[in-house]
Amino acid sequence: MSASGEDDLIARYFRPLATDPGSLSLLDDAAILGGSADDLVVTTDAIVEGVHFLDIDPSDTVARKALRVNLSDLAAKGADPAGFLLTLALPKVDAAWLAAFAAALQQDAATYGCPLLGGDTVSSPGPKMISITAFGRVRKGAMVKRSGARAGDRVLVTGSIGDAALGLDILRRGKAATATASDKAAADFLVGRYRVPQPRSVLAAAVRDHASAAMDVSDGLAGDLAKLCAVSGKSAVIELAKVPLSEPARGVFAAGATSIEALVSGGDDYEILCTVAEAQWPAFAAAAAAQGVAVTDIGMIVAGKGPPVFRDATGAPVTLARTSYSHF
Amino acid sequence: MSASGEDDLIARYFRPLATDPGSLSLLDDAAILGGSADDLVVTTDAIVEGVHFLDIDPSDTVARKALRVNLSDLAAKGADPAGFLLTLALPKVDAAWLAAFAAALQQDAATYGCPLLGGDTVSSPGPKMISITAFGRVRKGAMVKRSGARAGDRVLVTGSIGDAALGLDILRRGKAATATASDKAAADFLVGRYRVPQPRSVLAAAVRDHASAAMDVSDGLAGDLAKLCAVSGKSAVIELAKVPLSEPARGVFAAGATSIEALVSGGDDYEILCTVAEAQWPAFAAAAAAQGVAVTDIGMIVAGKGPPVFRDATGAPVTLARTSYSHF
């Protein structure tokens, strides 16, 4: 876009979100994050129309998803949000789309205490793309890594798994759409889980205080756990029957319209997967309960370097044909 | 791209660039920027194929441009590079393209002391897009803003202006191509100035120590100066005859294949534009000379709120029909 067109767009839609003095009201080349003894945790995730969100998704949910997938990373690292940068690639300037996008982003920035610090707006002949870099702060050395899992740690996951994959299936008129055709509330819940992640920011402190390793589940529980295990040099044994499913997901499963394999390899959960030593588990559970976030114990970290083993209700190992969601 | 495809791509091409321990070897959800009393300066700029670079541009120059446009911002803010995040949107995985891209990026990261800290790689049906967020450090409160210009300050610009606009014109087979048809060295120089910016990182300390206001020239000298003046609440008087032109640009100008207006409103210069109090000018000039970077005094900041006034060699004001480069 033209330089003045970009300036106008920024002033109109995004300056109201730049509430932190370090943003310099988006009038400079750069933003300032003030010096601090705390470590700064930085993460960046981009979403592309037609790949990570659908062209029929409303722009307010696109905005929330773009920010929240990054807030989910910060929460899983035990970091409190400090601000974000927004890069927007747009094929054209659509005032209605932008107004709803910016309004939703402003709400989420306020809700999560994560003000807009800066960004870039570029024209692109391609699909809409939103790239966000988010900053969080933790006490020096306190960021929770993927690499700290120890044998004997419990494997915990927040919320419920597989909802977003079913929501996407509903939007694509797959089997889950048929299974929820007579239950609008269930379908709306699952679609909502796909469109608007719920970052577990309120658990950041509990993760920081109690988890030995953590990550957010974005590409499928099974594949993401495999990554955590690999970088920790450990393996895990997971009871598939313990994987937490929402009531709507149970309904779709009961109707034969999905499989446990699809649910644990589906993308876009944005829940926290973490490992917690046995001695820390009561304190972590209490902290999660105090915040009203469900946390479920799904298995245990074990010695060894193989991929995690998933067991069915009889204790027999289940071979998963795939463990992660692929965008192709 | 698939989760495992993305992991393989990161391991193969980008892990060698992640030399800072805070990158966690690109194996975690986030990177760590260690706590420090210094302020962190953050900037983000994206480039899109067909908009900010051409599909015929080699991937090594695309990589350098993507990083250097951000390094240019840091230099103009008086900040020393600390690291960067890379977000890459690609329609497909092209091994040859990626190998040359990563190798050039690795070289520049080493040259400028700016290691890769993290990023995201996404598939996109659209054009290639590279979005980089760069971090720099300055002493607390020492970032040089656009807003500090004072009446009486000299207006200075590094290097030469308008080369990149001519380089783009050559690549598009415009008048500058004809004017340089018999001078391959001149054409190569101008194309190089378009494809590979020269961030004035060696001047960061001088800017920090001596400039009252600064920014990098990316959308055209005239328009960028207007922004600096507006946010400083000042105006400026600029002598067009003093605007520094390279020998190749002078040649194109002498051939009647460009105008001073086109040169001062052309994009992609990536030079530093700054204002320096008269008393600081000798020290700034000495520091620039010590670093081997040309700095030219092109005019003066004056009281008032109007846009900068550009004067020709007779002192008469020149009206510029446009002041910035537009991507449309």
Which residue from A28, A76, A127 is facing B29, i.e. has the nearest CB? A76
Q: Do B120 and A325 touch (CB under 8 A)?
A: no
* Residue A223 forms contact with B (CB below 8 Å): yes
Q: Which of B2, B8, B20, B44 to mutate to test the interface with A (most CBs of A within 10 A)?
A: B44
pLDDT > 60? residue A7: yes
Mean of per-residue pLDDT scores for chain A: 95
Task: In whole angstroms, give the CA distance from residue A252 to residue A164.
Answer: 13
Q: Do B127 and A125 touch (CB under 8 A)?
A: yes
* Residue A35 forms contact with B (CB below 8 Å): yes
CA-nearest of B169, B115, B323 to B236 is B323
* Residue B11 forms contact with A (CB below 8 Å): no
Residues of A in contact with B32 (CB under 8 A): 39-42, 143
Pull the structure tokens for residue B51.
Answer: 């908009």
Task: Report the pLDDT value the prediction gives residue B323, as an integer from 0 to 100.
Answer: 79
Q: Do A42 and B30 touch (CB under 8 A)?
A: yes
Which residue from A27, A45, A118 is facing B231, i.e. has the nearest CB? A27
Closest alpha carbon within chain B to A227 = B27
pLDDT > 90? residue A48: yes
pLDDT > 80? residue A293: yes
SS3 letters for B247-290? HHHHHHHHCCCCCHHHHHHCCCCCEEEEEECHHHHHHHHHHHHH
Distance from CA of A288 to the nearest CA of B (A): 22
Pull the structure tokens for residue B91.
Answer: 């329609």
* Residue A4 forms contact with B (CB below 8 Å): yes
Residues of B in contact with A120 (CB under 8 A): 44-46, 131
pLDDT > 90? residue A5: no
* Residue B40 forms contact with A (CB below 8 Å): yes
* Residue B87 forms contact with A (CB below 8 Å): yes
Task: Report the pLDDT value the prediction gives residue B322, as an integer from 0 to 100.
Answer: 80
Poorest-pLDDT segment among A121-125, A245-249, A295-299, B66-70: A121-125
Contact map slice: B 259-298 vs A, CB within 8 A: none
Its sign, for the CA torsion A61, A67, A70, A76, is negative
Which residue matches tokens 């460009």? B258
Task: Report the pLDDT value the prediction gives residue A1, as an integer from 0 to 100.
Answer: 56
Give A172's contacts (C-beta < 8 A, 6+ positions apart): none
Distance from CA of A266 to the nearest CA of B (A): 11
Q: Do A147 and B28 touch (CB under 8 A)?
A: yes
Residue B314 neighbours by CB distance under 10 Å? 6
* Residue A36 forms contact with B (CB below 8 Å): yes
Inter-chain contacts counted by CB atoms under 8 A, chains A and B:
231
- The predicted-structure confidence for A188-209, as pLDDT tens digits, reads as follows 999 999 999 999 999 999 999 9
Q: A260 - beta bridge partners?
A: none
- B14 contacts B84 by C-beta, under 8 angstroms: no
pLDDT along chain B (328 residues), means of 10: 76 95 96 95 96 95 98 98 97 94 98 97 94 97 98 98 98 97 98 98 98 97 97 98 98 96 94 98 97 98 95 92 66
Its sign, for the CA torsion A150, A154, A159, A165, is positive
> Binning pLDDT at 50, 70 and 90, where does residue A326 land?
low
Give A299's contacts (C-beta < 8 A, 6+ positions apart): A154, A155, A236, A237, A238, A239, A242, A308
Q: Do B3 and A32 touch (CB under 8 A)?
A: no
Which residue from A51, A219, A326 is facing B122, i.e. has the nearest CB? A51
Which residue from B40, B44, B136 is facing A119, i.e. has the nearest CB? B44
Task: Report the pLDDT value the prediction gives residue A325, as an integer from 0 to 100.
Answer: 66
* Residue A81 forms contact with B (CB below 8 Å): no
Residues of A in contact with B89 (CB under 8 A): 46, 48, 126, 129
Residue A103: in which H helix or E strand, if any? Answer: helix A95-111
pLDDT > 90? residue A321: no
Distance from CA of B46 to the nearest CA of A (A): 7
Pull the structure tokens for residue B247.
Answer: 């020998």
Give A67's contacts (C-beta < 8 A, 6+ positions apart): A84, A105, A108, A109, A112, A114, A132, A134
Q: Do B219 and A3 touch (CB under 8 A)?
A: yes
**In this predicted complex, what is the ipTM?**
0.94
Q: Do B28 and A145 touch (CB under 8 A)?
A: yes
In the sheet that A129-138 helps form, which strands lie side by side, from edge to edge? A116-123, A80-90, A129-138, A39-48, B31-33
> Binning pLDDT at 50, 70 and 90, where does residue A328 land?
very low
- B41 contacts B145 by C-beta, under 8 angstroms: no
Task: In whole angstroms, give the CA distance from residue B253 to residue B257.
Answer: 6
Task: Report the pLDDT value the prediction gives residue B324, as an integer from 0 to 100.
Answer: 78
> How much is the average pLDDT of A34-63?
95
Give A190's contacts (C-beta < 8 A, 6+ positions apart): A163, A164, A166, A167, A170, A176, A180, A246, A248, A249, A252
Task: Report the pLDDT value the prediction gives residue B80, as an integer from 0 to 100.
Answer: 97
Task: Report the pLDDT value the prediction gives residue A248, as an integer from 0 to 100.
Answer: 98
* Residue B82 forms contact with A (CB below 8 Å): no
Q: Do A324 and B38 touch (CB under 8 A)?
A: no
> Binning pLDDT at 50, 70 and 90, where does residue A264 land?
very high
